[in-house]
Amino acid sequence: MIKVKGMTRVFGVGDAAVEALRGVTINIPEGDFVAIMGPSGSGKSTFLSILGCLERPSSGEYYLDGRDVNSLEDDELADLRNQRLGFVFQSFNLLPRHDILRNVEMPLVYAGVPRGERRERAEKMLTQVGLGQRLKHKPAELSGGEQQRVAIARALANNPLVVFADEPTGNLDTKSSNEIMEIFQKLHQDDRTIVLVTHEPEVAHYAKRILYFRDGEIVREEVNDELR
Amino acid sequence: MNFADLIQIVWDNLKAHRMRAVLTTLGIAIGIAGVIAVVAIGQGGEAVIMSELESMGSSRYFEVGPNYMKGETADSKTFSLQDHVLIKELSPAVEKLAPVTMGPMVDVRLPNSKKKPLMSSLYGTTPDLIAGLNLSMESGRFLTDADVTAHARVAVIDAGLAEEYFPNEDPLGKKLFVQDNPVTVVGVLQKAPSSIMSAFQVRSVYAPITFAQEMLNTRVINSLCGVAVSEDALPQATSDCIKILEKRHPGGSYMGTTMDEQLDMVGNVTSVLTLIIGAVAGIALLVGGVGVMNIMLVAVSERTREIGLLKALGARRRDILLQFLGEAVALCLLGGMVGMLLGIGGAFAVALAAHWPPLISFWTVLLALGFSVVVGVFFGLYPASRAASLSPADALRHL
């Protein structure tokens, strides 16, 4: 599913250059559930952002679903994000002006899905995360945990191959965190590939594999045998 | 993303900042209103002046006078009382021709009346002038050749004077004093079609040129006024007049003016005025456009994160570009529509107050609306392309 070889990412040039990634190599097979941990500045978020095709690596190879990502044009990357990838962010990143139904519809709008079908699919996704009764609510009318559930529904709307989550529980209390992680666990049981960045060990323990980042490199890998 | 989705996104975004949208729109509205109103008022005014000029004389009307462009003025040797007779005989292009002696303003009063005399223009002329005036007689007759030969103490007055002095009686045969000379009214001219210029119209008295020259104590003829056989013959008529005059009065220099030239002149003046005021309104529109650009740049930087998110969700460069361009165009188009209503209203108000027809052409409105869209695209393109070319990761990191 995901094949990365010798990936580097350098910010800035000359003396001011900072190496965020210094040669990362990893394979993530389909259906894997990977958590990435590490101190801030270790490059874990940059890595996730490159995996999610939101930015390009400075060097190295990246194959996603058999395609050479580095060779794709910006618009092809946009289509790839739209059709194959889903994102969940720490700060939810919902559009405050629109109701949550419209928020979940957004990826489908860019995919060109017709209005009726779009609505139907968005409703279904929101019902699955338990918000079927609140379609017309604005994000601000929802709690943090509920907003993150909307974000997950949005990430899943296009039935993506991989879901990327950057500190999905970073802004949530323990109870909401557990609810969100249970949703991720269920996605994993449905064989969805998940890559998640976190600095909370309890969150990471939901994953099948944990990668430890330090100074732009993977320093340790742990396989979580006892799947909760 | 299809068009309906684009419209909805644009609309939702504008609705989120109502006050801002309204204020930005205002700049464009004022510009568009200015352009429409100025053009409409200009066109209305021009039409009025044109019809005014046309009603003042036949389209075949022409005048020959001393060449004032060369500093010539009329004196007693410029024209003679025989010139017009000779020219009519010699030039087939000239149908009617009358010499005109025009003095300073004269007093006109009723005999035995304490009323303040009215200031009027006195024209000394011959029968042919009526052809050039484009007015017919209300009652009585115009001057005759016999009047001219006899130095007859008669006068034709305009409808304004007749109303003033003889409101309830027939003026024909009544006496008036012109510069203290008793004259008999033999004819009343028809009232000129009412228009904005009526207010400025000077009252006029027409007398046989021989008698008028006695009253004014002058031998000067100011110009020859005539009518050509056809509009096409106008240049021929004026040049014939000038040739003959130059032969008869060596050393004199003459020039002809036709109605066409006067219409052209008015047209030029009004279109220059329209252009100038239109340019000022255009500058207002430009300033409005800069306002739109400014607000769009603010929107782009405010929504940087949102742009990053939309890109993460799969928005292409073009989707973002169209969204922001759409907002700029929508602002300008809304402003354009409000401005159109204001402009049309303004033009109607001016037309109503000035008693002239409101001339708002469909094309002016279409042009103004089209122009507002162009302004939107022009000033929206830079902010929109800035938004579209943001890197999704950088945009998402933006706080």
Report the percentage of chain B scoring pLDDT > 90. 40
Domains of chain A: 2-223 (3.40.50.300)
Residues in chain A with pLDDT values less than 50: 228
Which residues, at least 6 apart from B12, have a Cβ–Cβ distance to it below 8 Å? A97, A98
Is pLDDT of B25 > 70? yes
Q: Cβ–Cβ of B314/A158 closer than 8 Å?
A: yes
Task: Give the number of other CB atoms < 10 A from CB of residue B350.
Answer: 17
- Residues of chain B in contact with residue A115, where contact means CB-CB under 8 angstroms, are 4
Residue B34 or A62, more confident: A62
Report residue B351's pLDDT band, with 50, 70 and 90 as the boundaries. Answer: confident
Rounded to the nearest integer, the mean pLDDT of chain B is 87
- Which one of A83, A87, A115 has the shortest CB-CB distance to B312? A87
Backbone angles phi, psi at B374, to 5 degrees: -60, -45
- The mean pLDDT value for B112-139 works out to 84
Q: Strand B137-140 and strand B61-66: pairing?
A: unpaired
Q: What is the pLDDT of residue A12?
A: 87
Which residues make beta-bridge pairs with A213? Answer: A218
Q: Which of A168, A159, A223, A221 is nearest to A192 (CA)?
A: A159
Q: How far apart are CA B340 and CA B351, in angstroms?
A: 16
Report residue B185's pLDDT band, with 50, 70 and 90 as the boundaries. Answer: very high
Backbone angles phi, psi at B350, to 5 degrees: -65, -45
Torsion angle (degrees, nearest 10) of CA B191, B197, B200, B201: -30
Q: What is the pLDDT of residue B193?
A: 62
Report residue B194's pLDDT band, with 50, 70 and 90 as the boundaries. Answer: low
Report residue B285's pLDDT band, with 50, 70 and 90 as the boundaries. Answer: confident
Supply the ipTM of this predicted assembly: 0.93
Q: Cβ–Cβ of A54/B1 closer than 8 Å?
A: no
pLDDT tens profile A8-52: 999 988 888 999 999 999 999 999 999 999 998 899 999 999 999
Q: How far apart are CA B140 and CA B333, in angstroms?
A: 62
Burial of A162 (0-12, 13-18, 19+ CB in 10 A): buried
Q: How far apart are CA B333 and CA A188, in angstroms?
A: 50
Q: What is the pLDDT of residue B125?
A: 93
Q: What is the pLDDT of residue A226?
A: 61
Is pLDDT of B299 > 80? yes
- Residues of chain A in contact with residue B385, where contact means CB-CB under 8 angstroms, are none
Structure tokens at B184: 């008999």
User: B16 to chain A nearest CA, in Å?
Assistant: 7
DSSP class of A161:
S
- The mean pLDDT value for B3-17 works out to 89
Is pLDDT of B311 > 70? yes
- Rounded to 10°, the helix B317-354/B259-302 angle is 140
Is pLDDT of B330 > 70? yes
User: B293 to chain A nearest CA, in Å?
Assistant: 22
Report residue B35's pLDDT band, with 50, 70 and 90 as the boundaries. Answer: confident
Q: Cβ–Cβ of B15/A97 closer than 8 Å?
A: yes
SS3 A194: strand
Q: Which of A73, A90, A97, A159 to mutate to test the interface with B (most CBs of B within 10 A)?
A: A97
Is pLDDT of B266 > 80? no
Report residue B385's pLDDT band, with 50, 70 and 90 as the boundaries. Answer: very high
Answer yes or no: are the C-beta atoms of A209 and A32 closer than 8 Å. Answer: yes
Cα Rg, chain B, nearest whole Å:
33
Q: Cβ–Cβ of B316/A110 closer than 8 Å?
A: yes
C-alpha distance across the termini of chain A, in Å: 24
Q: What is the pLDDT of residue B56?
A: 62
Report the percentage of chain B scoring pLDDT > 70. 95
Q: What is the pLDDT of residue B75?
A: 84
Q: What is the pLDDT of residue B117?
A: 84
| Secondary structure string (H, E, C) spanning chain B | CCHHHHHHHHHHHHHHCHHHHHHHHHHHHHHHHHHHHHHHHHHHHHHHHHHHHHHHCCCCEEEEEECHHHCCCCCCCCCCCCHHHHHHHHCCCEEEEEEEEECCCEEEECCCCCCCCEEEEEEEECCCHHHHHCCCEEEECCCCHHHHHCCCCEEEECHHHHHHHCCCCCCCCCEEEECCEEEEEEEEECCCCCCHHHHHCCCEEEEEHHHHHHHHCCCCCCEEEEEECCCCCHHHHHHHHHHHHHHHCCCCCEEEEEHHHHHHHHHHHHHHHHHHHHHHHHHHHHHHHHHHHHHHHHHHHHCHHHHHHHHHCCCCHHHHHHHHHHHHHHHHHHHHHHHHHHHHHHHHHHHHHHCCCCCCCHHHHHHHHHHHHHHHHHHHHHHHHHHHCCCHHHHHHCC
- The mean pLDDT value for B206-227 works out to 92
Most confident of A49-63, B71-85, B148-162, B249-263: A49-63
Q: Cβ–Cβ of B319/A115 closer than 8 Å?
A: no
Answer yes or no: are the C-beta atoms of B273 and B42 closer than 8 Å. Answer: yes
Which residues make beta-bridge pairs with A62? Answer: A4
For A97, the closest chain B residue by CA position comes to B16
SS3 A5: strand
User: A107 to chain B nearest CA, in Å?
Assistant: 5
Q: What is the pLDDT of residue A228?
A: 47
Is pLDDT of B55 > 70? no
Answer yes or no: are the C-beta atoms of B64 and B241 closer than 8 Å. Answer: yes
pLDDT tens profile B230-254: 888 888 999 999 999 999 998 888 9
Q: Cβ–Cβ of A54/B312 closer than 8 Å?
A: yes
User: B298 to chain A nearest CA, in Å?
Assistant: 17
Q: Cβ–Cβ of A78/B315 closer than 8 Å?
A: yes
